Amino acid sequence: MRNRATSGKRMPQPRIRATRPPTDRSWIRPYDRTTDLPRLLPLLAADLQTPTREAHARLVALLRRALRAERIRASRRHWTYNPARHAALVRALRHEVAALHRKPLATVASRREPTSPA
């Protein structure tokens, strides 16, 4: 026996509506070194200032090591693996490598004695 309330009537389908288009990235917070890096790595405020290319390269090496450890956790399905941390590490590494490549190379001073015109 059919239910009289639903006989002959179609039930309305719920509307599925996307909140944002998948290509819109305006809702993503821009990368900020002073707030993002201390959340990802155990760093002091002095470690965030990298005036030399070598110090910046050490920071990039720390990020690569942390990302490698996170990828190992993911592959082993470890309970401490955090996909959000993994994505934040990838994002930070991309920004820091780009900033490292923008830094000028240190110029090596010439070891020759300056000659004075005679």
Q: Which domain holds residue 75?
A: 33-102
For 14-83, the three-class secondary structure string (H helix, E strand, C coil) is CCCCCCCCCCCCCCCCCCCHHHHHHHHCCCCHHHHCCCCHHHHHHHHHHHHHHHHHHHHHHHCCCCCCCH
| Domain contains 28 | no
| Domain contains 52 | yes
| Domain contains 65 | yes
Q: So what's the pLDDT on residue 76?
A: 95
Joined together, the tokens standing for residue 16 give 């599925």
The answer to whether residue 80 scores a pLDDT higher than 90 is yes
| Domain contains 107 | no
The pTM of the full predicted model, rounded to 2 decimals, is 0.67
Q: Which of 8-17, 50-59, 70-79 has the lowest mean pLDDT?
A: 8-17
| Domain contains 117 | no
DSSP state of 114: P
Number of domains present in the structure of the chain: 1
DSSP state of 14: P
Query: What value does the CA radius of gyration of the chain take, rounded to a whole number of Å?
Result: 27
